[in-house]
Structure 1
């Protein structure tokens, strides 16, 4: 008897850990509903509950969902089923790595074994290195090496009919209801694996052809909408890459590069775990950030979508209503927070962690560092997005802004809370102050 520990791989298709568990004979499956999940937003917990409910249906009711720390849940399930081996997908985030080591230690102390196979990435973090074995610090050479390294073809879908059921002690219906009550989404998201795979096929056969030309246009809405199933592990990057590989177009290669960014950020966090909270490089002096009541008032206006900059406000309202935001708009709202409102990137990253349905730890933290100019291969700090110019370029007819701001063009919509040009100059002056004086020889 073996046990599959379901983690960020909540699917039957292309799931090596589940296939290994089933290949060893009779197997059972369990997901640990850990205390850490209660630090998630209600919307993420509600969606997770629905994803687990769907996976339980796909396994004929065999998947157990049990409450408690992972090492206790997995050890208890292994004892209950007589499993000497537990199969799981490897995690590389600091919290995920700590969790799996705690599970490993608990199992080994009881004469059992944790075996890890696969990860949520096409190429596991730490695998892509320079010829001397060191990490890449710049995205473009990383992406070339990542493609050269390559990845395995998707594994076949698992036949879960032979899984043996375990009892659950978590009501997924209740968790979904409680999560909805905390953070109700105005727009629900697909949570069935079969529909996710259909969405992938539809995108590859349809909007992918226009991706390179239209990916920065929130008003056209022709992106893949696959970030949520990717975040919950209902879809593996290999599955996406196998589908796009059959398309010979620049758009397909551009789309694949976005997956490469996801893997680059995971690699950076793998090598630098402190980057989840600390800037990899300091670009401004400490006194450049505003504090106190002014900081709180600025943050509140930004959070509520009441800054007076339509593209920013539309993005923040889209986030509040749907749990997602167009990627171009994410960059603009982040730039405004850091470089116009002079608030540290960690404050914005924390808000995204609480509100994003497609939250991915490495992606979120390192994307914020990219905008703030503090991360690996980041946009230089002096590259400051002008929210009005960005709106004219990427939402020229203001359809995106009008969709999310009903009071736009009425007296009820506020004027900009800051003068962008003045704040840009203040940020550049702070940047200049932080540079060490050059020594003449």
Structure 2
């Protein structure tokens, strides 16, 4: 009996429990639903997704079906076509992912079929790491400790690339990739095959991992894994990353400190997913209020400031370099992400949601939990967030993490020319305004 693998955020052959479950009794069919939600993605994200799915299809002998439509309709239709009574899929925990799998499960159940959820996009599924009293962790460090104590399995065995039953597609992935490129071009397209990302991971643990603790905050140094993109599309599982770091440290104990730091960064990803699982409203709503509502800039002045930030013409080199890097590559170094987010919120007084929306359009590695909760971290509104009174100084951050100016010169060819814009605000003045707003926000409301 053929089983159907419903491809979600797990477009890979390695370390994929849901796919292995589908292939448990022989060749499986596979389908991906190009849903209305995907059609709303930015052109660059749709183009990259199309290439990811094309690569997966090539790896499986062009057997993967990619079809337009709601997942419930697409999955049910494919299950009927191949005679699958069981559909295997990865469990999702985001608000949209939970809604999607409930709809698919209902459609299959009404048709006498079964949705079997196996595995998740995390080393430890959200909701599993709880305090002794059964409540969620609100602070990262004790969460990380409990997360490590919980542990995770070693990566699963690779699936059989020949073990697929062909499923037809009604979408031209080449066309969608080209269309996305036209609508939202990238100057530096990233790798899009699972093999290329696994090679990148191998190169990372063999090289940059050794200096990861000391160099990961330097935007001009190739010191990070760059795994956020394949994680976002499911081409690499976090278990694979954790095992690679652990194995490297076992083989070379000198790497233990760097491997622990790298593991901690994976834990932050899982912490944010856990927070969103417990608080789905955190996608749009601050988990706590830190400044009065009247502190936010509004009107044309706010729009003009946002446009200057978005276009990388604020006059602050590190901020502008980061925004131009994202425009050109769909990526931005994590240290710089914190700086540009702080600048938008605390120098320009624009709500974090507006910045998060722009990152959703601009970043290739966009992930609901990571994007929204990282913005809330900078805004001081999230769980275990940076306090609102922590205001990043763009110049100080540049001096510390890009002391030779190599990063800003790479992305700002106009930096030392008359074409480079004047500063749109005085940082010290805006910092004082932000701190005054924070102080006002701490005052008790007047009694009515």
Question: Superposed, which structure 2 residues align to 1:293-372 within 5 Å?
Answer: 293-372=300-379
Aligned to 1:265: 272
Once the two structures are superposed, residues 201-258 of structure 1 have per-residue CA deviations (whole angstroms, 9 ceiling, x without a partner) of 0000000001100011102232111111111100000001001002132111111111
| Corresponding residue SS for 2:30 | strand
| Corresponding residue SS for 1:160 | coil
Residue 335 of structure 1 and its aligned partner are, at CA, apart by 0.1
In 2: Cα distance, 1:216 partner to 1:250 partner: 16
In 2: Cα distance, 1:162 partner to 1:371 partner: 46
In 2: Cα distance, 1:436 partner to 1:401 partner: 40
Aligned to 2:171: 170
In 1: Cα distance, 2:206 partner to 2:341 partner: 32
Question: Superposed, which structure 2 residues align to 1:21-420 within 5 Å?
Answer: 21-246=22-247, 247=249, 248=253, 249-420=256-427
Conserved? CA contact 2:14–2:156, under 8 Å: yes
| Corresponding residue SS for 2:162 | helix
| Corresponding residue SS for 1:181 | helix
In 1: Cα distance, 2:163 partner to 2:225 partner: 34
In 1: Cα distance, 2:257 partner to 2:425 partner: 39
In 2: Cα distance, 1:229 partner to 1:141 partner: 28
In 1: Cα distance, 2:423 partner to 2:213 partner: 32
| Corresponding residue SS for 1:318 | helix
Residue 182 of structure 1 and its aligned partner are, at CA, apart by 0.8
In 1: Cα distance, 2:145 partner to 2:363 partner: 30
Structure 1 residues without counterparts, runs of 5 or longer: none
Residue 133 of structure 1 and its aligned partner are, at CA, apart by 1.1
TM-score, normalized by length of structure 1?
0.98
In 2: Cα distance, 1:54 partner to 1:394 partner: 37
Mean CA deviation greater in 20-29 or 199-208: 20-29
Mean CA deviation greater in 138-147 or 405-414: 405-414
In 2: Cα distance, 1:437 partner to 1:60 partner: 65
In 1: Cα distance, 2:279 partner to 2:214 partner: 34
Residue 438 of structure 1 and its aligned partner are, at CA, apart by 10
TM-score, normalized by length of structure 2?
0.97
In 2: Cα distance, 1:356 partner to 1:220 partner: 20
In 2: Cα distance, 1:311 partner to 1:337 partner: 13
Residue 187 of structure 1 and its aligned partner are, at CA, apart by 0.3
In 1: Cα distance, 2:361 partner to 2:60 partner: 31
Residue 414 of structure 1 and its aligned partner are, at CA, apart by 1.4
Once the two structures are superposed, residues 95-120 of structure 1 have per-residue CA deviations (whole angstroms, 9 ceiling, x without a partner) of 01100000000000001000001011
In 2: Cα distance, 1:355 partner to 1:275 partner: 20
In 2: Cα distance, 1:50 partner to 1:363 partner: 23
In 2: Cα distance, 1:406 partner to 1:149 partner: 49
In 2: Cα distance, 1:372 partner to 1:396 partner: 26
In 1: Cα distance, 2:385 partner to 2:300 partner: 30
Conserved? CA contact 2:48–2:177, under 8 Å: yes
Conserved? CA contact 2:208–2:222, under 8 Å: no
| Corresponding residue SS for 1:268 | helix
Once the two structures are superposed, residues 348-391 of structure 1 have per-residue CA deviations (whole angstroms, 9 ceiling, x without a partner) of 00000011000011000000000000000000000100001001
Moved >2 Å (runs of 4+)? 436-439
In 1: Cα distance, 2:195 partner to 2:421 partner: 44
In 2: Cα distance, 1:350 partner to 1:381 partner: 20
Conserved? CA contact 2:91–2:118, under 8 Å: yes
In 1: Cα distance, 2:109 partner to 2:14 partner: 29
In 1: Cα distance, 2:230 partner to 2:26 partner: 29
Residue 437 of structure 1 and its aligned partner are, at CA, apart by 4.1
In 2: Cα distance, 1:387 partner to 1:86 partner: 50
| Corresponding residue SS for 1:161 | coil
In 2: Cα distance, 1:42 partner to 1:210 partner: 35
In 1: Cα distance, 2:240 partner to 2:404 partner: 36
Cα-Cα RMSD:
1.0
Residue 91 of structure 1 and its aligned partner are, at CA, apart by 0.6
